Chain A
Amino acid sequence: MKILVCISHVPDTTSKINFTNADTEFDTNGVQYVINPNDEFGLTRAIWFQEQQGATVTVVNVGGPETEPTLRKALAIGANDAIRINATPTDGFFVAKQLAEVIKTGGYDLVIAGKESLDYNGGMVPGMIAGISGYNFLNSCINITVEGTNVKAVREIDGGKESISTSLPLIIGGQKGLVEEKDLRIPNMRGIMTARTKTLNVVEPVEAAVNTKAVKFEKPAPKSAIKMVAADNLDELINLLHNEAKVI
């Protein structure tokens, strides 16, 4: 089985979010980048398929040379090789178009992408890849097993879960549940050393329609200060929630 794991290079959650160039660009100054958490769950599940079922795992990212450390980290965790599509990810459709091209060329059986990235929170790339490539698509996937080309998987739904059956080739939008937090791997020294010599292919982008454009960013208005209520004055809390906040 050939698995492709799509990796977003995103600011760590603890990063300060600022914008530059008259609020039209994200300010990368001092920002720590990580593998998008939803992608990391998917990557770890892919490594499980590699170790248990002999799958090969390729990781792919759309981004400039500055994103390569994130791909190297994925290689250190255990991916076999990596592809970087040398372009600035302008919108979800552009990214999906690039990834669909790599999928077509590489003939992957299973494509795992995080259901949403932490930066733009678009949540659209996995579905758009499926729309372009025509592969089966399961979003919010929290469990997957593969036998031959038969797939059994579980999808999280509002207020429960849904078990499904389908077949390869398949694209999933993954999240926590594919593996648990405790199963995530921190690259060890051996992994980091071997990652340096693994193949990282750089490919040029294909043309894609520019459907949407991020024109500006805004920060939320500063929050008003918290109102403290004394522990022995719960009537006041109920009063505030009822009369001021109007939520009960």
Chain B
Amino acid sequence: MSILIYAESAEGKFKKVAFEIASYAKKVAESLGTTVTALTVNMENVSDLSKYGVDKVLKVNNDKLVEFNAKAYADVIKQAAQQENTKLVILSSSTNSIYLSSLLAVSLEAGFASNVVGLPVSTAPFQVKRNAFSNKAFNITEINTDVKVIGLAKNSYGIFENASTLTEEIFSPNIGDNDFGIKVASVEKSSGKVSIADADIVVSGGRGLKGPENWNLIEDLAAVLGAATACSKPVSDLGWRPHAEHVGQTGKPVATNLYIAIGISGAIQHIAGINASKVKVVINSDAEAPFFKVADYGIVGDAFEIVPQLIEKLKAFKAQNA
């Protein structure tokens, strides 16, 4: 009956989203009078999960699962759910978890709600609130199946410590060749940089920066804040920055704690992609830029003057608060 989560990891460390769904699952488990079981893949030390309320860990160690494979991972989670007689599986909204979640829902014959924000509105009937219409509305969805799968929207709940006593168990699922119809040939990761998906802060630049040669402003500000860098669509279309940095409706979605937009006017398509961010700061020379209507803090002025000063002041602030 325990709630099952898939606690994602990379290079021997849990991802932040694993702690967020653990915190969330614990709270839901308390209201349902049950416990939280986490499934981990090729992780040695899982003790960190006990800080966030996980009661039991099913550890899978399998060489075939070194590289992520959605079908195989969905198959493993399904078998774990069945062994534990789980009625509720909670997943994150990482690219990999989104990828496997719908395969898992079909194989468990489970109703699936993605993009969930906040705790269930009601547990009987089981209703959750989710983002819809590109963050312009919420939708209350009722799941009617016996087994349910939900995907928690990134950064929508937060990470809360809630110490528990953890038991560990080795779990050995059956994985067949038909799970590997997709074969990974190579993986390319930009090393040494904070990815937009993992960042707490994103610093983003638009056409107001006038050219790629000025991107040191964005990169230096991001470096002081430990932030990821991003850009608007025109900037990536002009080839000033790689497409992977494009955020907005057709680019990457951003749901971060702090989003700083510099020289971005705030076209509706851009806002749709970044609106799930908690705090938005805009720096723009045009006081009429639409971004000022949706941001929390704004400065009207020349980015070429403001940003270097801001970098210096933040360095001093960081040194003081270190």
Q: Is the CB of A164 within 8 A of B111?
A: no
Q: Is the CB of B94 within 8 A of A158?
A: yes
User: Residues of B contacting A37 with CB < 8 Å?
Assistant: 249-250
Chain A residue at minimal CB-CB distance from B135: A220
Expressed in whole angstroms, the Cα–Cα distance for A180 and B250 within the complex equals: 10
Q: Is the CB of B243 within 8 A of A93?
A: no
User: Residues of B contacting A229 with CB < 8 Å?
Assistant: 297-299
Expressed in whole angstroms, the Cα–Cα distance for A197 and B197 within the complex equals: 46
Q: Is the CB of A218 within 8 A of B114?
A: no
How many chain A residues touch B (CB < 8 A): the figure is 81
Q: Is the CB of B134 within 8 A of A121?
A: yes
Expressed in whole angstroms, the Cα–Cα distance for A175 and B309 within the complex equals: 38
Q: Is the CB of B137 within 8 A of A175?
A: no
Q: Is the CB of A157 within 8 A of B95?
A: yes
Cβ of A74 to closest chain B Cβ, rounded Å: 18
User: Residues of A contacting B196 with CB < 8 Å?
Assistant: 159
Q: Is the CB of B114 within 8 A of A124?
A: yes
Q: Is the CB of B184 within 8 A of A162?
A: yes
Chain A residue at minimal CB-CB distance from B125: A215
**CB of A140 within 8 A of chain B?**
yes
Cβ of B266 to closest chain A Cβ, rounded Å: 12
Chain B residue at minimal CB-CB distance from A138: B182
User: Residues of B contacting A158 with CB < 8 Å?
Assistant: 94-96, 195, 197-198
B interface, CB within 8 angstroms of A: 68, 70-71, 94-96, 98-103, 105-107, 109-115, 127, 129-145, 181-190, 193, 195-198, 200-201, 225, 233, 237, 243-244, 246, 249-251, 257-258, 268-269, 272, 278-279, 281, 292-302, 305-306, 309-310, 313-314, 317, 321
4 residue pairs, one from A and one from B, having the closest CB atoms: A127-B102, A131-B106, A159-B195, A231-B301
A interface, CB within 8 angstroms of B: 11, 13-14, 17, 19, 37-38, 41, 91-93, 96, 118-128, 130-132, 136-140, 152, 156-167, 173, 175-177, 180-182, 209-220, 223-224, 226-231, 234-235, 237-238, 240-242, 245, 247-248
